[in-house]
Amino acid sequence: MFKKKLIFNIVQLFLVISFILWLGTYVARHLVVFQLFDAETMELKSLFNNIDLAPFFYSFYPLILSNIILYLLFILLFITFLFLSDLKLKNNGWLLIITIIIFATLPFEIFLLLKDYLIAQKILELNNKESLELIKLIKERLIILSNFSIIEIFSYFFIIYLVIFKPLQKSI
């Protein structure tokens, strides 16, 4: 019994840490990427036209890689949490809503993570000729599910609210 509780507490701790770090890198990555493009036309800002963007891409690479790893870790730990937890979804509406949000956004986020993986690969193979191709891939990633990222960020901030206040909890 003590061992199961200890494992559950460790999973819960790492779940919270991976969630916070993933959400932070997700927001940071979007803030960095949106600085490259004009908001209305989604064209590269004129400021960046005549400079080598390789240093930017190399500094952007850790954000992409940590985002991929942390999201996959977060999902794995969340599933583990659901199996180890004594909480029943039927009695804890807040946990049910969190589970629905996470699993509803999962396929779209996996799709975007695959795009991120392609971008990360291109960064590692980067030379001056491929810089424009990399810009095109980043732009395509932003446009493909344009508003999903913003909706996802707000949904995951809502998860923080649900965890703190635990609404819709049935008292037994």
Positive or negative: CA dihedral 129, 52, 126, 25: negative
Q: Which residues contact 39 (CB under 8 A, 6 or more apart)?
A: none
pLDDT value at position 128?
Answer: 62
What does each of the 172 residues of the chain score in pLDDT, given as a tens digit?
A: 788 889 999 999 999 999 999 999 999 999 988 888 887 888 888 888 778 888 888 888 999 999 999 999 999 999 999 999 988 989 999 999 999 999 999 999 999 999 999 999 999 888 766 677 888 888 898 888 878 989 999 999 999 999 999 988 887 6
CA distances from 142 to 51, 83, 86, 90, 107 (A): 22, 35, 39, 37, 16
Beta bridge partners of 44: 37
Q: What is the pLDDT of residues 24-48, one digit of tens each?
A: 999 999 998 888 888 788 888 888 8
Total-model pTM:
0.91
pLDDT value at position 172?
Answer: 64
Q: Where are the domains of the chain?
A: 2-165
pLDDT value at position 37?
Answer: 86
